[in-house]
Each structure stands twice: as C-alpha cells, then as structure tokens.
Amino acid sequence: MEQVLFENLVKEKFTQLSAGQKKVATYLIGNLDKATYQTAYQIGREAEVSETTVIRFSYALGFEGFSELQSRIQKQQIQQNKMSIPPREVINRSKEEKDTFTKVIEKEIHILGHLLDPMSVKNIWRTVDTLIEADQILITGHGISHVAAHWFSHALGSIRGNVSLCSLTGEFFEKFSNLTDKSVVVVFSFPRYAKETLKIAECTREQGISLISVTDRLLSPVGRISTITLTTEENVETGMNSIASVISLLDLVIAGIYEKDKKRIQIHQQKLEKLYSNYEVFVE
C-alpha cells in the first residue's frame, strides 16, 4: 500500500489540530529539509510553541512520538531528493555579486524544479483526471489571481467544452447553481488572499463539489480545504508571487489533458476551427 505523503497527512488532520499544533504544521510544511535534523525543542522555538506542543502534534498525526514523525520526514526527503532534478547553476558567482535579473531567473528555476517533486507530479495527474471526467468546470480568482484564472479558462476552453470563468464582478452563485456532483470548481488564490475566494471554496466543499485550488502553499486558506491543492512556491522565500511559475504549472496540466484525452480534444478543436473559419475570427 502506498504511503501517504507527510504533507497530505498534515493537510488531512489540519482542521483537528490546536492553534499551537497548527503553528507546528505550518512550520514543518515550509521547512521539511531543516526539520530532518532539528530537535523537537528547536522546531518548537522556530514555530513559537513549546517542545511539548511539538510532541503532541506528533501524536495528533498518529505517530507514536516525535522520533517516528521525524523518521518519516527523513525517509520521504531522501526518496524525493533521489528523484528530483538538481537545480541548475545559472552563473557561477557569489550571492553578493548576482544582479537583480539573475536572482529572479534563479528563483524561477528553483520554483520550476519543485514542480517535478513526486508530490507535485502526483497532484498534477490527479488534477488532469479530475478535469477530464468533469461534466462542467467553473474557474474563479480575485485580484492578481484573476490573471491566472483567465488564462487557464481560455486554455482549457480551447480543448474541451463546459468551461466557465467567473468575472471579477461576481456571478459565482448564479453559475454555481447549475453544477452537479460531477462538476469541478477551480480557485486561484495567492497573497494577499481574497475573502471572496475563500467563501467560494467553503461553499464548494459544503455542497460536495470537487474543489481544486492553485495557490502558493499547501496550508493556505483555500489549500487546506481543497480536494486537490496545486502549489507553486512552497518552501520558497519570496516577497512576490511569480505568475510565470503559475502559468508553467498550468501548462503541465494542459499537457497532461492533451496526453490522456486526445480523441475528444481533436473533435472539440475541429468544431472550433470550423466556427473560426466561417466567421473569420482571426486575421490569419
């Protein structure tokens, strides 16, 4: 039987944790590499809780103690490090000598490298299967997140039918009322997290509709309650979210759908091309 990834285990138990235990969970998810060698006391200090809270957190996740929890993290990190592609060296200079653009490019490469982590790949394929099987797909995002939501709705709408985008002015509930238990809602949520997006996510889960979130971290407000959570910047120290990495992640989803649903995509695109041609939609 395949072992549940530590991150998913934390996500499943998150709502049942105490406030202090949630601090431990948030710290560990963002610092798994460091946690492989830190003591319970050190983790508690970083998470601003007591050592006892860290130990109780271990019990809350079903481990017999902190040592077993840490052993689980260590084994998972070793396995993932074997499978991941090492980050590429862009320019062989010291950190102090790197210019602004070099730092941005290196950060993007680091983020994109994480998309090939086993957990990310597994979630991408789950997303692909869920979107292929959905009878309707409703996509939404507010603020800066709306940019990615708009791009994804256009890309997805070009390869399958019944894809809707909620505008910034609302209309979610009007469109949501037409969904079924086979439908999917995709929400985009990046800092600063919009309340409207969280309300939509909560409504979706309460109504039993599958919820996919595209966000910056697993335990973001929408990430922790989603059926599937796709993240782009987990463990990345940055003051700004990268739209480039989000689009790259969505490109992987689209590529996966192309791979698994070629026949239906071909039929859909033939219909589109006929309409484009009949009504002279494009210059060329």
Q: 113-275 sits in which CATH class?
A: alpha beta
Helix (H, G, I), strand (E, B) or coil at 138: strand
pLDDT of 86 above 70: no
In SS3 terms, 187-222 reads as: EEECCCCCHHHHHHHHHHHHCCCEEEEEECCCCCCC
What is d(CA 53, CA 250) in angstroms, rounded to the nearest whole number?
A: 38
91 pLDDT band (50/70/90 cuts)? very low
Comparing 15 with 237, which gets the higher pLDDT? 15
- Determine the Cα–Cα distance for residues 17 and 20; give it in Å rounded to an integer: 8
Average pLDDT of span 62-91: 75
Q: What pLDDT shows up at residue 2?
A: 55
Domain map (residue ranges) of the chain: 6-83, 113-275
| Range with top average pLDDT, 40-44, 131-135, 276-280 | 131-135
Dump pLDDT digits (tens) for 197-251: 999 999 999 999 999 999 999 999 999 999 999 998 755 555 556 788 899 899 9
Q: What is the pLDDT of residues 23-55, one digit of tens each?
A: 999 999 988 888 888 889 999 999 999 999 999
Lowest mean pLDDT among 41-45, 181-185, 238-242, 257-261: 238-242
Q: Looking at the domain covering 6-83, what would its CATH class be? A: mainly alpha
Q: What is the mean pLDDT of residues 61-72?
A: 91
